Each structure stands twice: as C-alpha cells, then as structure tokens.
Chain A
Amino acid sequence: SYVLTQPPSVSVAPGKTARITCGGDNIGGKTVHWYQQKPGQAPVLVIYYSNDRPSGIPERFSASNSANTAALTINSVEAADEADYYCQVWVSTTDHVVFGGGTKLTVL
C-alpha cells in the first residue's frame, strides 16, 4: 500500500519560515493536497492541486512537489498557524485516498 511519511513535529519561531515535508514513492507524479487541523476542529483545506490556495487562505501558505518529497511552506509564521498539518494524495492503482500521518507545528 502507498505510504506518506511526515515528521511528527516541526517547531518554528514567530515570523520565520516553517517547512513540513511529506515523503512518498514518486510523490512528484501525484497531486498533493494539504490540510490544517486545530485542536477540536475539523480539518481545513489549505493547499490543493499541489500549490493552489482556497479562498481565505493567506499567500503565506505555499507548497512544492518533486521526486519523492512534497512540502508545505508557511512564511512569516504566526501563532495562529499552530496546528496539525496533513498531506493527502489519491492512489490511482487502488482507487483510494491516503493521508500522511500528520505533523504538529509548534510556534515557539
């Protein structure tokens, strides 16, 4: 089965840049989506089609995808960005969605 690997945690100081990775076999050949989830809340889509942002998501959020690693980048990190972040892909060989294990972003 297809596995997406994320670091359990990432820490960053306010105003700095956070980079959250998502590793998978030839993930660069897939479309990656990213979600933000704050405690007690439902996930919120922050990036779709690998680097598009839904309305209302700040330009500080961007993403990249190449070879075996996708990444979510958050510039000028704010306290409000503290949350869990999940990557997600569609696995066409078995026709189902796979989520990464999630990364807890801590703003120091």
Chain B
Amino acid sequence: QLQLQESGPGLVKPSETLSLTCSVSGGSISTSSFYWGWIRQPPGKGLEWIGSMSYRGSSYYTPSLKSRVTIAVDTSKNEFSLRLSSATVADTAVYYCARVYSSGWFSDFWGQGTLVTVSS
C-alpha cells in the first residue's frame, strides 16, 4: 500500500522560505502515470491546490502561487519537496502531499498532513 509522509519545520518566520519533504513508500515515485503534488488547507478553511510535478520534471502550479513555489522530485530518495518563498501569515496551513493521477488530475493517495505556522 502506497504511503506518503510529510516532514519539515512546523514554524517558519515571515519572509523566510517554507520547505517541506514528502517521503513515498510502498511504491516508486518514478511512475509515468502519476504526478506528485502539494495541497494546503488554512485552519478552518478549504483545500487549495499548490502544484505538482512528474518524476521527469514536468510541473504545474496554481497561478496565484506560481511565482513563489518550487516543487522538486528526487527519484534516488523516492521523495519530493515543496519550497514556498517569502512566507507570510497567510501561508499558515496544514500542508498535504499527494499522488496525482495525470489522466484526470485527481489525488488518490494523501499524506496525513503537517501544520506549518508562519509567525515571528
């Protein structure tokens, strides 16, 4: 059974870069049918898609975050990462990593989520 696990700092200072890693187990990240994505959820609010990347490096980002977001895939470690620059309080959220089926763009496996708070 595929499992995804987010890791990274739970507290980030404003203007700094938020960085998270998603470790994938129970399956290979180097699969052509899937992308690897990040979704976030501010406390008490709805889901917001951040972006996704394939193991070959093809990527898609939500327009409102595109200028600040970088997603990278490391096939040697079977993991992928998220970097969000110039963090603000508005970036405080639970961040989920997920497997995204590229023929339809739905997420069928999700990590448990990790809360990142942006605060000084």
Residues of A within 8 A of B (CB): 1, 31, 33, 35, 37, 41-45, 48-49, 54, 86, 88, 90, 94-102
Contact = CB atoms under 8 A, between A and B. Distances in A.
Interface in B34-49: 37, 39, 46-49
A43 B47 contact: yes
A28 to B, nearest CB: 16
B49 A42 contact: no
Contacts of A97: 37, 49, 52, 62, 100, 105
A101 B106 CA distance: 16
Interface residues of B, number: 24
Contacts of B108: 45, 48, 54
B51 to A, nearest CB: 7
Contacts of A100: 46
Nearest to A40: B113
Interface in B63-120: 63, 96, 100-101, 104-108, 110-113
10 contacts: A42-B110, A43-B96, A45-B106, A48-B106, A54-B108, A94-B63, A96-B63, A99-B46, A99-B48, A101-B46
Nearest to B63: A94
Contacts of A33: 104-106
Contacts of A49: 104, 106
